[in-house]
């Protein structure tokens, strides 16, 4: 029995190949037997990739294990916060804007719009509880929620992307674009997923500092640092994610 496109190894990578790379490749390559651009579904193409099946499996298992643990911690923390799952510094107006945007991107909204319903009627329908099956990090569950509440529920899930590449060749060995391809199609590895690298970049900075003569035991004061950006331009003074400007403590 053929695998569903959400099943098997590397579903995010396979979808990237199908919808992006191969779609463009087929447009510019002619099948000599038909004298037409290749058809990805009908022309018997065999696609070979650099994905290592063992590394891919390890990557998917690692993402699954660690994201389950992080999600449990996040869920526990959310119970203490009135804005959950949104951040403490997101106000009610911003939350409404986020939710309205999410509703209008949904298939349910598009179908109602095509049926000729007004925005007010669509928004009212989103507040009516219905039976539905939703994702959980322990397996899908049947429940009763309004479509509006289900959107907010899905906002509570942490997302991630994982990619392993062979540096000598650029070959991609593992690609995990998210926590569950069936429920979350957005690929966090794809170049369109722009995310701040955060602390993952620290090893590169520290390695360069050591290479340039700094000691691994050197102490750095945790104070605000301003970097000149050029004549006539204001200095760049990055702050911590919580808005603080340094504690004055010394970090190792």
Please report how the helices 107-114 and 92-105 are oriented relative to each other, as an axis angle in degrees rounded to 10.
70
pLDDT of residue 232: 77
For range 79-88, the mean pLDDT: 88
Better pLDDT: 105 or 238: 105
pLDDT at 123 over 60: yes
pLDDT at 252 over 60: no
**Maximum CA extent, the chain:** 72
For the chain, the average pLDDT equals 89
Q: How confident is the model at residue 248 (pLDDT cuts 50, 70, 90)?
A: very low
pLDDT of residue 200: 81
Sign of CA dihedral 104, 110, 114, 118: negative
pLDDT of residue 35: 93
Q: What CA–CA distance (Å, rounded) separates 208 from 160?
A: 27
pLDDT of residue 2: 57
pLDDT of residue 249: 47
Q: Tell me the two tokens of residue 179.
A: 């926590």
Q: What CA–CA distance (Å, rounded) separates 125 from 150?
A: 13
Q: Tell me the two tokens of residue 131.
A: 């039976």
Q: How confident is the model at residue 245 (pLDDT cuts 50, 70, 90)?
A: low
For range 35-40, the mean pLDDT: 93
Residue with tokens 């004055």: 248
pLDDT of residue 118: 95
pLDDT of residue 243: 67
pLDDT of residue 113: 95
Q: How far does Cα 90 stand from its chain's mean position? A: 20
Cα dihedral 126, 129, 132, 138, rounded to 10, equals 100
For range 59-75, the mean pLDDT: 95
For range 5-33, the mean pLDDT: 91
What are the residues whose beta carbons fall under 8 Å from the beta carbon of 23, sequence distance 6 or more? 40
pLDDT of residue 250: 46
For range 103-123, the mean pLDDT: 95
Q: What CA–CA distance (Å, rounded) separates 8 from 24?
A: 24
Q: What CA–CA distance (Å, rounded) separates 137 from 64?
A: 9
Q: 162 forms bridges with which residues in the sheet?
A: 176
Q: What CA–CA distance (Å, rounded) separates 51 from 38?
A: 23
Q: How confident is the model at residue 112 (pLDDT cuts 50, 70, 90)?
A: very high
For range 97-107, the mean pLDDT: 95
Residue 230 φ/ψ region, left for φ over 0, alpha for ψ in the -120 to 50 degree band, beta for the rest: left
pLDDT at 27 over 70: yes
pLDDT of residue 173: 97
For residue range 169-208, list pLDDT tens digits in order: 999 999 999 999 999 999 999 877 777 777 888 899 889 9
For range 72-95, the mean pLDDT: 90
Residue with tokens 């301003």: 226
The residue ranges of every structural domain in the chain are 7-83+160-195, 86-155
What are the residues whose beta carbons fall under 8 Å from the beta carbon of 24, sequence distance 6 or more? none
């Amino acid at each position: 029995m053929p695998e569903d496109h959400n099943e098997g190894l590397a579903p995010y990578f396979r979808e990237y190949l199908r919808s992006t790379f191969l779609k463009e490749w087929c447009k510019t390559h002619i099948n000599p037997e038909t004298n037409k651009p290749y058809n990805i579904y009908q022309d018997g193409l065999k696609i070979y990739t650099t994905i290592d099946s063992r590394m891919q499996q390890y990557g998917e298992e690692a993402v699954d294990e660690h994201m389950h643990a992080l999600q449990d911690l996040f869920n526990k923390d959310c119970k203490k916060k009135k804005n959950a799952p949104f951040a403490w510094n997101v106000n009610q107006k911003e939350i409404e804007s986020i939710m309205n945007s999410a509703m209008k991107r949904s298939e349910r909204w598009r179908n109602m719009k095509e049926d000729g319903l007004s925005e007010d009627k669509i928004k009212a329908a989103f507040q009516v509880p219905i039976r539905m099956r939703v994702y959980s990090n322990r397996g899908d569950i049947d429940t009763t929620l309004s479509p509006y509440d289900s959107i907010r529920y899905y906002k509570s899930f942490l997302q991630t992307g994982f990619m392993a590449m062979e540096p000598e060749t650029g070959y991609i060995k593992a690609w995990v674009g998210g926590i569950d391809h069936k429920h979350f199609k957005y690929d966090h590895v794809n170049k369109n997923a722009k995310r701040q690298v955060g602390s993952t970049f620290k090893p590169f900075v520290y390695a360069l500092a050591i290479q340039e003569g700094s000691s691994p035991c050197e102490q750095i004061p945790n104070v605000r640092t301003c970097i000149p950006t050029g004549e006539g331009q204001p200095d760049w003074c990055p702050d911590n994610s919580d808005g603080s400007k340094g504690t004055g403590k010394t970090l190792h």
